[in-house]
Structure 1
Amino acid sequence: MFLSLLETEWYPILFDTPSNIVRSVAIWLTIAAVIVFLTCFFAFKGEMRRKFAKFYGIGAVIYACVIGILFLVLAFVEDGIAAILFYPLLALIVVLAGGALTLFFRRDKITYIVVGCLAGAALIASLICMGINFSWGDALENNGLAAENVNTVGLYVSAAVLVLAVIAAAFLCGRKDKKGFSTRSITFAAVCIAMSFALSYLKIVEMPQGGSITIASLLPLMIYSYMFGTKKGVFAGFIYGILQAFQDTYILHPAQFLLDYPLAFSAIGLAGMFANVKALKFPQVRFALGALVAACGRFLMHFLSGIFAFGYFANIQPVWLYSLIYQAGYVLPDIAIAIVAGVLVFSSKTFVREMERRAENLRVFTTPATPVETEDRHVATCPECGAKFTYGGSVAKCPYCNTPIESEQAKAENDTQPKQE
């Protein structure tokens, strides 16, 4: 693991190409922005904190989109990508983006079928083109390999089994989620994918045969899965994985592409599997456990890809040990950074409250307010934040935003009192 890290490029202090200059500046700029945000967030209170968080959040989304587009352009100019891979993948992304936009405005059975068929056809076309590229030998030659160095059967079997495993896990963990994609879930998916994609360019370290350590690039996807469930989370991870193929192009086989890109990041969508487990009291614990399971899923995908596709680089080492050490060298630190950052974020009551207000998957707002008097209990909905809670007496405060709440009886009494002229 440590030898692999010594051979890597440390991007925060790398200024040899235009993209590395931009990346190094962006890394330090992002770190400074996070420090400013945390300082101001904990310094402000109440309404000022909420307004600041909203303003900063909008700015973060815009910043992420600009960074993502800028690095994508620089990657095409400096590195390039084979036309037989680029155009099918570009068509797939266009189909997925167009499908998401269509579902944003219209969600019926026919629309789902059409979008699904088009996306499936685009994915199959991309895989066929990857197979052709593999048969030509260009992909192997570009990665310093020969056809006999790749275990094709192992790749196909691993990909097929793990596709079924990820789908089964997503539906098993999200079996109580009966909602389809809504305007809100599609919007949040686009925002979280864009933020993860932008953060993935802010690499701390990049490994020789692919893979990198980033600044919590997977955290937005994990939060999305926590908010909207594993089924939607896996789908968002799938789209993000395809985008990663543009950024970090180590594609030599169709099944290897599935393992290292769509499947590996689809597993990140399982991070929300414990979001509604009542036995786990603290949201930090629910998030961290789900993120650990998602990390294991991603690690398994890369581990098998390393054995069957890149085992040639093991030399005299056992192939499984080489893949284990290599994948652990970047997957574990990358996931650890995301989990630590996530636990810190979920430790903020304000963040958790705002997240629960906007989530579709969470069972939320179960904390009762302290009753004013020992009378009959009332159920109220806060007009300010939408929280539901119970209280006693005629007046209470929302336990989340401290907005005063009057009971229906108190409102009726106020309405019957004569008004002063």
Structure 2
Amino acid sequence: MSRNNNLVVLTEGAIIVAASTALAFIPHNLGASSISIVYGLIPMSIYALRRGLKPGLIAGLVWGLLDLILRGFSSGGFLNPLQGFVEYPIAFGAIGLVGLGSMQVKKRIEDGKNPIGLIMLYSGIGFVAKYFFHFIAGGIYWGMYAPKTMNPWIYSLVINGGSFIANMIMMFVLMLILSPVLKKFIIVKD
């Protein structure tokens, strides 16, 4: 990769991180539960598909650090350093795993085929990884907030599994809406 191309990838990553961070300030909880829609997953997933695994992981990690600083410390989402590390940089960085499908999705688009199935598969991998880390932290650190009659691990599974499902539905709907322009978002022009 040339130095100029590295700068373009870095600049795109910074813009995506800023957009994902800004989207986090839009109210996103479903009803009274802790199940939440994370709007920043969409631009972050598209970036990982566009630029690949390593840039996706790095952008996710930076997004997690920013979210920790801007929202985690101020909202009570930071209980201790290990929990903060797992739920912010690690969980958010895991979204970059969507980039595992970068080459396959690009090839599908270039062949004139519909990439939505592959996009959903690789988005599922990244989203499962993110919510797995939240599930672990939920069972260990947030279990005290579970209803008295509910096992903390079941509670964490319901909340994080519900968030995973809600975000996958959002991703699917938006990919259907964006399908006519996905090529412009994912394929890099020289």
Q: Is the 8 A contact 1:240 1:265 kept in 2?
A: yes
Structure 2 residue 180 is matched with structure 1 residue 357? no
In the other structure, the counterpart of 1:196 is 20
Q: Does 1:293 align with 2:116?
A: no
Residue 202 of structure 1 aligns to a residue whose secondary structure is coil
Structure 1: gaps of 5 or more residues: 1-106, 108-179, 359-385, 387-421
Displacement after TM superposition at 1:272 (Å):
2.2
Distance in 2 (CA, whole Å) between partners of 1:311 and 1:353 is 44
For the structure 1 residues 355 and 307, does the alpha-carbon distance in structure 2 shift closer, same or farther, using more than 3 Å as the test? closer
- Following superposition, the deviation at residue 354 of structure 1 comes to 5.8
Q: Which residue of 2 aligns with 1:333?
A: 166
- Contact 1:219–1:339 under 8 Å retained in 2: no
Q: CA deviation at 1:230?
A: 0.8
2:156 is aligned to 323
Larger radius of gyration: 1
Q: Calculate the TM-score normalised by the size of structure 1.
A: 0.39
CA distance in 2, matches of 1:187, 1:241: 18
| Residue-by-residue CA offset, 1:136-173 (whole Å, 9 max, x unaligned) | xxxxxxxxxxxxxxxxxxxxxxxxxxxxxxxxxxxxxx
User: What is the CA deviation profile of residues 265-320 of structure 1, one whole-angstrom value per residue up to 9, with x for unaligned ones?
Assistant: 11111112122238965322221111011111011011100111111223232221
1:256 maps to which residue? 83
- Does the 8 Å CA contact 2:16/2:44 hold for their aligned counterparts? yes
What do the CA deviations read for 1:85-114 (whole angstroms, capped 9, x no partner)? xxxxxxxxxxxxxxxxxxxxxx6xxxxxxx
**Unmatched runs of 5 consecutive residues or more in structure 2:** none
Matched, 1:275 2:102: yes
Aligned twin of 1:233: 56
- What is the rounded CA distance, in whole Å, between the counterparts of 2:59 and 2:172 in structure 1? 18
Partner residue in 2 for 1:221: 44
CA distance in structure 2 between the aligned counterparts of 1:206 and 1:253, rounded to whole angstroms: 26
d(CA) in 2 for partners of 1:199, 1:229: 22
- In the TM superposition, residue 340 of structure 1 has moved relative to its aligned partner by 2.4
Matched, 1:344 2:168: no
Structure 1 pair 181–265 and aligned structure 2 pair: CA distance change class (3 A): farther
Pair 353,220 (structure 1): closer, same or farther in 2 beyond 3 Å: closer
Question: Looking at both structures, which has the greater relative contact order when contacts are Cα pairs under 8 Å and sequence separation is at least 6?
Answer: 2
CA distance in 2 between partners of 1:208 and 1:242 (Å): 27
| Separation in 2, partners of 1:195, 1:355 | 17
* Aligned-partner Cα distance in 2 for 1:331–1:285: 17
Question: Taking structure 2 as the reference length, what is the TM-score of the superposition?
Answer: 0.81
In structure 2, do the counterparts of structure 1 residues 335 and 254 end up closer, same or farther at CA, with 3 Å as the change threshold? Answer: farther
Superposed, 1:11-410 pairs within 5 Å as: 182-205=6-29, 212-214=36-38, 216-245=39-68, 246-249=70-73, 250-277=77-104, 281-314=113-146, 315-345=148-178, 347-348=179-180, 350-353=181-184, 355-358=186-189
Higher helix share: 2
RMSD value, Cα: 2.8
Q: Which amino acid aligns with 2:20?
A: S
Cα displacement (A) at 1:231: 1.0
Q: Which has the higher strand share?
A: 1
Once the two structures are aligned, what percentage of the paired residues are identical? 26
Shift in Å, 1:326: 1.9
Q: CA deviation at 1:255?
A: 1.4
Q: Deviations over 1:361-420 (max 9, x none)?
A: xxxxxxxxxxxxxxxxxxxxxxxxx6xxxxxxxxxxxxxxxxxxxxxxxxxxxxxxxxxx
- Checking the alignment, whether the CA contact within 8 Å between 2:53 and 2:102 is kept in structure 1 is no
Q: d(CA) in 2 for partners of 1:258 and 1:351?
A: 33
Q: Give the Å deviation of 1:205.
A: 1.7
